[in-house]
Every structure is written in structure tokens, then in C-alpha cells.
Structure 1
Amino acid sequence: MSGSEQGAGRGSSGPRCIAIVGPFQSGKTTLLEAILERTGAVARAGKVADGSAVGDSGAEARAHAHGVEPNIASVGFLGERMTFIDCPGSIEFLHEMRAVTPACDAAIVVCEQDERKLPALQVILRDLEEAGIPRFLFINKIDAATRRVHETLSLLQPASRTPLLLRQIPIWKNGIAVGFIDLALERAFVYREHAASEVVEIPAEEVGAEREARYSMLERLADYDDALMEELIEEIEPPRDQVFDDLRKELREGHATPVLFGSADRGNGVTRLLKAIRHEAPGVAAVRARLGVAEDGPPLAHVMKTIHTAHGGKLSVSRVLRGKVKEGDVVIGSHGAEARVAGVQRLTGASMGREAEAETGDVLAFARLDGIATGDSFGVGKTPPRAVASVAPPEPVYTIAIATRDRKDDVRLNAALAKLTEEDPALIVKHTQEAGELRMSGQGEVHLKVALERLANRYGVTVDRREPVIGYRETIRSKATVRGRHKKQTGGHGQFGDVVIEVEPLPRGAGFEFVDRITGGVVPRQYIPSVEHGVREALDSGGLGFPVVDLRVTLTDGSYHTVDSSDMAFRAAARLAMADALPKCNPVLLEPIHAVEIAIPTEAMSKATAIVTGRRGQILGYDSRPGWDGWDILKAQLPESEMGDLIIELRSATSGVGAFTTSLDHLAELSGKPAEAVVKRGGVAARHA
């Protein structure tokens, strides 16, 4: 290593933590395998295709042939420890990346020369930019490149709000990249299969291109270095140490995103990437500064991921931001939960190795931290620390209803779901009383499919799934007055209740009103609450078989028996009266309408509008997405019955990046054949879309 390279590496503090992120199937896991092989952590790089990769060690990841959760591996490189966290690339699992990156020193963004993946790249870069995470862009699959590198840079630049800073140029031979020239070192390297590149003289035919590209890099660096700008103006060659200092500074301060390239599958460009990380990425001190954590104080760690293992129980994968944490320490979480560290483990994929303690900068798994969740912070001591990097889970966009095939499995299901939702905060499970169903919501079809596979694979609980109940309602259009009488004699005290009610419609959204207009005590005061109770019970299912809304019921008359009347009798009388009245009030079906805001790349707008109108939706308008170049927001209203698989169709039309937020807006009348079809299915069953 040159003196300048060594100087560029000075000031490292503690083990590094680097996230590997990027669009779906860009080669992140393959890059991790190449890093493990290059650093000697594994003898031979595994393959995603044959299920031998460390980064896709879970059964669900291998079943789907892509990452579905972060995978962690620690390596040693030139005397320093580095932990790499391979994050899923699918938008459905982007929340996993968001939970990991705040405590990372930097990120490697893996991408390729594929314009179809630009929207996904933009989403990922935007997340890193807003979180202030320094990032390297690694253009993968250079061995299959079809564009010149400057064309690729022009293609990728719109995805990044910070300038992309080219650090290398390829050496081409017969249209194939056979090596590269490092613009900072001014050295040429020739690729070797699954080995470090060989240093060679810069080819004569590449000298001109190298000088031009290097000057362009230095010009960019000079934007934030007046001394360098003067040197360029005066045509003075800047010292190499100064160049490395500027590269490190611009990365750490977010002024530029350095761009390197290679082939993860062949192990090309990996050593230079590792050296760039070692020399230029900040350490844990910068993470503390970014998160507002003081350097001095009791030991502090941040939980990046929660894992429930088959035999080891709960593991909290955490970055130690300050001090040391060891087995047996009593820690307290940011919400006040206390726990004793039952063990400290270093993870490499699915493998674990016991450690005596975790020091500042380490990413290790702490056992049995009950009550401390992903996104929490914990410290040694009695005072709960502030949660330094909590990330709110995303709003769900896809929902299913689930039920065990055997009721005796319900207890096991509840226990398993508690563990799954603790591992994955974006997985939301709720029981809806009205529909009588258990609903699972998440970020898409694959997200929920993986959750159900985990239920079966890890906990032995198999469930049936179906579309959730749609919240249809009904209301009335006209008025009716009816009498309801409940009279029963079975020996001894009988049952008697008699009411006259007037039922009339209210404006949409007004809800339900009960009015008491009894005079003369024809219905005693103590029974009137029972009449209202009976009326409300009858609203659960109206003349069409659905819950009834927006009406007023007025109790106008009735009679009672001094011996046989009771609360139960008047409740029954009220239900009878309502059962008679509602079909006479010209009932009409109402369907829930949701306000939807859809975020999409601009070029997909025509497809999105077609999707909305094809689902009986109403377009309200669209506008550019604030702060997002090349994106729009489409505002619309959509029936709830049309939203079940909306996210699937949207993502299909937007290279996987379409997203939406939704909220119930109002109830609208549904008539004609669509209403007849819903009512024909009858009762609660009719509420299924």
C-alpha cells in the first residue's frame, strides 16, 4: 500500500458497519459473497441460484431466490473489522433497509446499467440521502456492459440528488471491460477471476481518457476545496494525499457519491471497493454525531433487527454506539424495559459464534432482551436512553384475512404472530370484531406470502387465507312507523314488551340517533335504555343484510305489563319493530370509498390512470411529487372492493416502485347489477369482494 493510501486510512475508530443496498436482483448478495471470499471469510463464494450463498441463508429467501430480510457477515480486511449487512432489494422489504441504515457508517449501493431499475434506485438513494448516510455507488455487471461508462453515469445521475463522482474508468478490449484505471491512484489494474486485480502500466491508448476523466474528478472535488481549485487553474498537480483527503471529505459530508464498478459474480473490482471503504468511510464516531449521541456516557446500543431463533430464543442484532456490552449486563431499553444479556453472538448468515463482549462499533446479536424491540436503543444502567434512530413502519398496502384450519391451533397462531410482528414491524395483525376475522397487512403479496411461509416453516402453523370482508353498509331512503310487540306466556311470569317506533333517514355521514318521545309513562323510564339497546342490535343487519347507518329512530308509543314486562322483553320488542320497519324504508346499499394518493414515476401516469378508472375509480387530479424529480402524485377515489390487489397492478406498471396511501373518505350508494350481485351473496358473506 502506498503512503498516501495509508494516510487516507488514518483516524479509523472501531469496527465499520456497511449496508449493502440496491434495487431488486442487482447483485447485492453476490457482492457480499465476493467480499467474503476476498477477505478469506469463506473458501469459495456461494451462489444465489443454488442456495449456497451466506446472504440468502433463510428458507424463505431461497424459496423466492431473493433476499427477504437483512443478512449479516463480519470480515477482517487489512487489520480492520468490517460488518456488512446485505439488505433486501424489493420495495416490499425496503422497511428492513430503513431499520438497518441509520446506525451504519456508510452504504454500498449496488446497481447496473438497466434504466428499468432507475425508479427503484432513486427510492433507495433518496432514503440514504434523507438519513445522511454516506454512500458508494457500485456499478455491477461491468462484464456485461452495453454502454460506455460516461453514458451510464448520465443514465444514473437523475436518480441521485448529489453528483455522481466517477472514480474509475474501464479498460476495454474487444468491447469487454478487462480492467480499470483508478483516477485517484493513477494506476491501471487488470481483472483476475475471483482474485485481486493485477497492477499494470496504464495502456498508451488510455492515457488521454485517463487524464480527461481525472481532471473532471478533480474539478468536482475543487468545488469544495479552494486550494485545489487554485492548483488546477495554475496547472499544478495536487499531492495524492490531498486528493484522498478531498475524496474522504466529500463522501462524509454528502457532497458527492463516488462511483466504482466491477463484477460481483467474477469478483472483479472488490478489492478496490474494500479499500475505498477502509480509507474513506467514516467510523462510529460519525454515526454518533449524526444521531445526536454524546461521545461520553454509559454503554449504548441501537437495535437494527430482531430475530427469533428455533433454539436460541430472541436475538437483538444491535450496533454498539458507545462503550462495551457483555454477557450478564443488565440493560434498560428506551421504553423502560429491563433485561439481562443472556449471551453475545457474532452472526455470519445463519451461523453464530459466541463472543465475550461487544465493543464500540461492533454489530452483534444480544440474547433475550425481552421488551426491547427493533428501533429501540438500550444502555447499561438504570436510566432509559433516548431511542436514537427509531423508524416508523410504513403504511400497509395489502391485506388478507387468515384463519387456522383447526381451532385448537389458535393459541399457537397468536404466539407465532407475536414473534413475527416483533421481527417485522411492517407486518400488522389485527382482529376485526365486526367482520369476525383476523387480518394480516403488509407491503405486498410477497411480503405476506413470506410471513405465511414463516408461520408454517418455523412454527408449524398452517393457515387458510382469503380476501378480507368489505365494509359494505346500508341505509334507508324513506320513513316508516311500526309497532313491535313481544308477548310470551310459559307458566309463571310471562314476557311482555310493546313499542311503537318511527324510523327515518338522516343525511349521509350523520350516523345514528335515538329519540325518546314517550309521554304519560306508556313505556316506563327504566325500560327505555333497553329499547335503544334492542334498536342498536337490529342495526347490525338490515333489510339487505348489512349494518345500517344514517338514520333516526324515535320511540313514540308503547305499553307495558306490571308483572311481565322486563328489560329483555323491551329489547326483543325493539328488535321486532326494527325488523319490520327497515325493509319498508326503501333500503339502499352503501359501499366504502377511499381517498387514495398514488406515488408513481411520471412515465407511468397513463398506466396508473387506466388502472384507477378500470377499477371504478374517480380521478381527482395529479401534481408533481414534491422534491422528487420525474415523479407524480395521482389523487383519486376508489371503492374499497376494488383496492384489494391494487398495489400488485400498480407495481407491475411501475417497475415495482408504485406506492399509495389511503384513508376511508365516505360511503356512496351502490345500485344496479353491482349492488344486486353483492346482496345476492347475502349477509356477512356478501361483504367479501
Structure 2
Amino acid sequence: MGDERKGKEQKADNGRLAGPRCIAIIGPFASGKTTLLEAILARTGAIQRQGTIAAANTVGDASPEARDHAMSVELNVAETDYLGDTYTFIDCPGSVEFLAEADGALAGVDMAIVVVEADEKKVPALQVILKRLEDLAIPRVLFINKIDKTTMRVRDVLQTLQPASAVPMVLRQIPIWKNGIAMGFIDLALERAFVYREHAESLVIEIPDDDRAREVEARFEMLEKLADHDDVLMEALLEDIAPGKERVFGDLVEEMRQAVICPVFIGSAEHGNGIQRLLKALRHEAPDIGMTRARLGVDDGAPATVQILKTVHTPHAGKLSIARILTGSIGDADVLVREDGSEARISGFYRVVGQQATKRDRAEVGETVGLGKLEKVQTGETLGGAGPVTQLARLETPPPVLAIAVAPKERRDDVKLSAALAKLAEEDRGLIVRHAQDSAETILEGQGEMHLRVALERLHGKYGLDVERRVATVPYRETIRGGTSIRGRHKKQSGGHGQFGDVVLEIRPLERGGGFVFDDRITGGVVPKQYIPSVGEGVKEALREGPLGFPVVDVGVTLTDGSYHSVDSSDQAFRMAAILGMRDGLPQCKPVLLEPIYEVVVACPNDTTAKINAIISARRGQILGFDARPGWPGWDEVRCTMPEAEIGELIVEVRSATAGVGSYTKRFGHMAELSGKAAEEICQRFGKQAA
């Protein structure tokens, strides 16, 4: 391993990597990600003055919805230059309800800055985010923000955060304390001390004598973690030989790029502290586009390869696709090829900084740009310049956890609402729009209460649509417990030909899930064959609404007898006879209400499992058991069955009990009988009356 490291070290010694970088800023809710982006833009000269969330003047979170809620509700993209290199930073929402926004972007970034604060309550949320990065093998560094507000020793902070990470967190800086306040830091790799200055580059000082012992101990711990992946360094430590800075930096760089360690920096984004050192680390250590191609499996020599990271519908420029150029270069009016061979022509090229898009002519390899009017192209697609290319990211829509029915307040806005919802769902993969046939409702599904609230606010603010929201209708059914034989007769005499149909129907229950069966035992032609299908149609029509007011299922009907008139009988007459017979017969068959039961799996930190069990039981759920969540240390999966009517706002309670990180998946299980007071209430509200 030593020879291999020497070769890698030599590569690092020959000069840093250059070229455009694309870096995600990600972390738990309210950890300061947007503030960090603002501090970076201010330090690199992209903006003249650092804005604040409180003043609602930041480059990121500039949408009305983000500012109203003082939180990120979509990706924020901003390009800047630092010491001759171009960087695109993608600020990802931290709330678990908006994390689907990050999935498309992570498919094309070089690395991630994970922003977190010294708060053990946010460890589960941090684990959710780190798990995403780990699954994608994305190199990452941790930035412990708000160091000026913490009272914990940074080692204790690291010990608290480490369970969230599958790889070691390697502390690169320790704070210099004065009167309980972090007034600077010691860089363990550089072995230098720095004093913070408000919104300015830190001042280099000698390592204070009082902190020398802490620095030596912390640096040795850093080297020990690096030595786990470097045999030569391990030998040096065992022989008490001080390694050179080049080897230390070589290990830090290589092991971070391989995502086998997570280096940890400290600072305060609000005051611009620690930003310069973070930027310099990115400049010298971040993977370049070549390494990202290798991680993604993209051929270096391929013609233009473009990864779509995000889709935005702008008020004036129309559809804008945020894209990373992985190979080659592209220009305005170039044609890109989708996986199915269809073509998409670029109409407009843009440099994106927050809400501002500035026109440009073309993009070179490694750059991240906005491409105009790729109308059919979706987030997550990989496009080729000379033909279809292998798709790098198969983005799956995350399972929805909350659904509402929406309708325009003005009926004339039906078409407008459908178009607007389609655009929202194209921008945000966490949203699903579907039409419920039974209730004729438009159903909007999403990742939580805030997620759906923001979607409705966008409908109003962006598209001028006011909508009504209500609880989505539960598709109740009814069935029968008994059977009967009933005659249905339709006889009507009017001018000319009359109408005559006469049937005898045998109605019987089927086993649960049996659906509907219609057959006949007609002999002697008492009901002519040509009319029998019409009898079946009449039976099916009658089952659309049973005596309780709901569609009837799991019923078998046999036509056993009847009569006809040679002149007055017709298809319509026999259809009506069947309807009348079923309406008279079903109430005699002991009708019973059925409700849909789902199989639900709740994922939660294991210290909240007892709370989840209580929530499930309170919602008429039947707990089937729980197991450790595969691949998620410290998490459980609770399996249960639960009526659909109780699932409605289940996620609100689950998130409340799990510090905002719990979730669930569901799939339809079966229909179950519901009787007593609960059935009576449902029938009074939605149907007719209970049996």
C-alpha cells in the first residue's frame, strides 16, 4: 500500500486539480446551509454584502415560499469564482419533506459540504443525509456551523455526531477558546492557528501555549484515523516518527476523495468565520470532473454528456434545466439526444446565481449551467451529444406520506389547475398528482404537511390559482354476508311498443377479494340468449351503489329464470329489470361496510419505537412486529396493518415523535368488515345508513 500511496502523493505534489467544480451544500434543517452559501458568495466577491435569513435578502431561499417560512423549500444554485476557478454550489433543503429535491442534484456533483450544528437532536436527520451520500459514494466534508454559539467541546460534538456516519469523522480543526467563546481555530494539518475576524479572512497567529497540548493530542488522533488507510503512515506513528505535511495532506485528500473518511471543519457562517479555510480546502482537495466521471462510470472520451440536475419553470424564460456537463462541450441551439433516441434542442444558455439567470454562449466540460426549453427532458436524465447514452441516475419518486384532494375555487380553472399541477410535479419529484376515479377527485400527494402547504402556496403565488383542499375520500366498499333469490320485473306500456323484462336473480356472497361473478342457468329459452348480457350489465350497474351507499364487491349473481314478451322485450328492458331486482335483493343479503386496510412499515430511530407503537395502536393499527432497519444502525422498522382512514395524517404524528425524520411506506393489503358505531358514522357522512 505504501508504493500506491507514494504514486498518489506524487500526483498531488505535481499540482492541485483545476477546472469547474460542482458542490452540494446539504445538512439538517436550520443548520445554516443557506447562510453558508451566502458567506461563500460574499467571500468570493459574487455579492457585495452578505445577506441574512432574517432580513430576507439572501441569494438562496429567494422564493416567496422560502422567505415566508424562513426555510429552504427548493434547490438554490449559485455560480462563483475563487482564485481563478469556477464553482457552482447547490444548496439543498434540509427538511426531510424536501429532500427529494437533492436527489437529482447529487447525481452530478463532485462532493458535498455537510452543514451541521452541535445539537444531538439533529443526529437522526444528519444520518438520513449522510446515508444518501454514502449510498452514492459522494466525497464529503463536515462543517460544524455556529461554533460561536456552542458550549460543547468539539471532541464531544464529534463523538455525538459520529454515530450518524458510516465512515470516521476526522477532525481537522479545533477551536481556540477565550472566556467560553470560540475566537479562532487551530488547523491540525497546517499546524497553524487563526483568529476569526468578522466577515474577513482570519488572522494567522502562533499556536497559543495554552492550546499546544490540545493541538498535539488532536493531531495525533487525526493521524491515527488516516493511518487506517495508509500502512506507511501507520509504521511512522508506531515508530514515533513525525510524518511530513505532504504525506498528511496527501492522505487527507485521497481518503476524502475515496469517501472513506469525512474531514471536519468548524466555523460560523453567520459571521463569515472559517469560510476562507473551507474554500482553500475545496480548491486544493475537491475531486475534479475527471474523478466524478470515474465514480459515475462515464467514459472520459465520450462526446458531450449532460446530466440534468434540476428543472425549473420560470415566469419569463419558461422551462429551465440546470445541467452539469460531464464530457465535451455544448452551445446554444445544439441538439441533445435522450435515452429513447428523441432529440431536444437547447434554446438559451444561462449562468445561474440564485433567482438570476444571465445569458451566455456555451459551456465546457465540468461547468454547471441552465439550459432553456428542453421541453420533454426531466430531472435525472442523462443526455448525449451524438446519440443516446447510459442513464446515470434512475431517480425513483419517493413514496408519498400525505395526500389531499384539491379543486379550483372557480370551476373555469379546472384546465389551468391541471397544467399548473403538472409543472409543480415536474419541478418537484416529491409531488405526485393523480385522479381518483371513484370520487372524481384530483389528489395531490407529497412528503408531509409543509411540503403540500408550499405546493398550494405556489399554485396561488406563481400561477394565480386559489384552490380548496380537503381530506381525500377513502374508497369504502360494501359487500353481503347472506344471499337471496329475487325477481326483478320491468314493465312499462306507452304509445307503440312497450317495455318488458322479467328476471329471477340468485345473489350470493363471494370470498373476500372474489370481485364480481355473473352467470346464468337459463333453460328452455325463458330469457333469450341475446338479452342475457344486458342482464349482466344491469347487475353491474346496480352494484355501483349498494344499500349503504357504496360500491358493492365480492358478489356473485346467477340468472336462474325469467320471462319475455315477443314484442315488448329489449336489451334496455332486461337491463332495467336486473337493476330493479338487485336494488330489492341486496338489502335482504345482510349488507356490511368494508374499509381498505394497508400494510404499513414505519421507519424510525430505535429510541422512538415505543412512541411509534403507541401511535399505531391509537389509530386502530395492528402491530405485526419490528426489526432493525437494514443498513441503518440505530433505526427500527415497525410493521403493522392500518385502515386507510387512519393513515391520513399519520405522518404528522410520526414526524413529531421522531424529531422530523420518521417516515413510512404502505401498500394495499385487503378489505375488512367494519361494523358498529364507526360504520354508522361513515355511512351517515358518506353513504346512507349502516346495516
Which TM-score applies when normalising by structure 2? 0.97
Residue 450 of structure 1: aligned partner:
454
Residue 164 of structure 1: aligned partner:
169
Residue 352 of structure 1: aligned partner:
357
Distance of 1:613 and 1:5 partners within structure 2 = 62
Q: Report how far residue 7 of structure 1 moved.
A: 5.5
Distance of 1:544 and 1:140 partners within structure 2 = 60
Q: Report how far residue 683 of structure 1 moved.
A: 2.5
Aligned pairs for 1:234-633 (under 5 A) are 234-381=239-386, 383-633=387-637
1:452-490 Cα offsets, whole Å, 9 max, x none, are 111111111111110011111111111111111111122
Give yes or no for contact 2:172–2:264 (8 Å, CA) kept in 1: yes
Residue 230 of structure 1: aligned partner:
235
Distance of 1:430 and 1:679 partners within structure 2 = 26
Secondary structure at the aligned position of 1:268 is classed as coil
Distance of 1:436 and 1:218 partners within structure 2 = 64
User: In structure 1, what residue type is equivalent to 2:278?
Assistant: L
User: In structure 1, what residue type is equivalent to 2:551?
Assistant: P
Distance of 2:189 and 2:137 partners within structure 1 = 25
Give yes or no for contact 1:5–1:279 (8 Å, CA) kept in 2: no
Aligned pairs for 1:196-235 (under 5 A) are 196-235=201-240
User: In structure 1, what residue type is equivalent to 2:148?
Assistant: D
CA change 1:684–1:656 in 2 (3 A) is farther
Give yes or no for contact 1:142–1:177 (8 Å, CA) kept in 2: yes
Distance of 1:614 and 1:563 partners within structure 2 = 63
> Is 1:660 the equivalent of 2:664?
yes
In the alignment of these two chains, the number of paired residues is: 682
Higher mean C-alpha deviation, range 218-227 or range 50-59:
218-227
Give yes or no for contact 1:337–1:371 (8 Å, CA) kept in 2: no
Residue 59 of structure 1: aligned partner:
64
Secondary structure at the aligned position of 2:507 is classed as strand
> Is 1:112 the equivalent of 2:123?
no
Distance of 2:681 and 2:169 partners within structure 1 = 56
Give yes or no for contact 1:337–1:372 (8 Å, CA) kept in 2: no
Distance of 1:539 and 1:553 partners within structure 2 = 11
Residue 82 of structure 1: aligned partner:
87
Q: Report how far residue 660 of structure 1 moved.
A: 0.5
Q: Report how far residue 8 of structure 1 moved.
A: 6.3
1:665-688 Cα offsets, whole Å, 9 max, x none, are 1111111111111111243999xx
Distance of 1:393 and 1:685 partners within structure 2 = 40
User: In structure 2, what residue type is equivalent to 1:199?
Assistant: V
RMSD value over aligned CA atoms?
Answer: 1.5
Gaps of 5+ in 2: 1-8
Secondary structure at the aligned position of 2:148 is classed as helix
Which TM-score applies when normalising by structure 1? 0.97
Give yes or no for contact 2:483–2:589 (8 Å, CA) kept in 1: yes
Distance of 2:19 and 2:182 partners within structure 1 = 36
Give yes or no for contact 1:401–1:439 (8 Å, CA) kept in 2: yes
Give yes or no for contact 2:16–2:284 (8 Å, CA) kept in 1: no
Distance of 1:657 and 1:240 partners within structure 2 = 41
1:495-517 Cα offsets, whole Å, 9 max, x none, are 11111101011111211111211
Q: Report how far residue 183 of structure 1 moved.
A: 0.5
Distance of 1:8 and 1:516 partners within structure 2 = 87
Q: Report how far residue 9 of structure 1 moved.
A: 8.8
Secondary structure at the aligned position of 1:676 is classed as helix
CA change 1:6–1:34 in 2 (3 A) is farther
Give yes or no for contact 1:164–1:259 (8 Å, CA) kept in 2: yes
Distance of 1:5 and 1:170 partners within structure 2 = 32
Distance of 1:94 and 1:111 partners within structure 2 = 16
Q: Runs of 4 or more off by more than 3 Å in structure 1?
A: 4-9
Secondary structure at the aligned position of 2:157 is classed as helix
Gaps of 5+ in 1: none
Query: Which among 673, 676, 687 is matched to residue 683 of structure 1?
Result: 687
